[in-house]
Amino acid sequence: MSTISNCPRCAQPFACGAAEGRCDCFELRLSDSERAAVAQAYTDCLCLRCLGEIVAGAPVQPGSPEPNA
């Protein structure tokens, strides 16, 4: 059974299936630097939407400047 959590980045509820060995986020490919930045900023999983935004270039923490700005 997936764990229901609130995303620490956007506060929206989401189901994390990582404990079952299968989650939609497994399909996303974060760079090593994105993965490190997420791990430094958050101790819990992020929702698929937020991870997708980060992969697309959004800042790891909302309201922070773009990394290449």
Domain spans in the chain, listed from the N-terminal domain onward:
3-55
d(CA 57, CA 47): 16
d(CA 61, CA 40): 11
Residue-wise pLDDT tens digits, 9-61: 999 999 888 778 887 788 889 999 999 999 999 998 899 999 999 999 999 98
For position 26, what pLDDT does the model report?
A: 83
The count of other CB atoms within 10 Å of the CB of residue 9 is 23
For position 62, what pLDDT does the model report?
A: 79
End-to-end CA distance of the chain: give it in Å, rounded.
41
Contact in structure between 48 and 2 (CB atoms under 8 Å): no
Tell me the β-bridge partners of 68: none
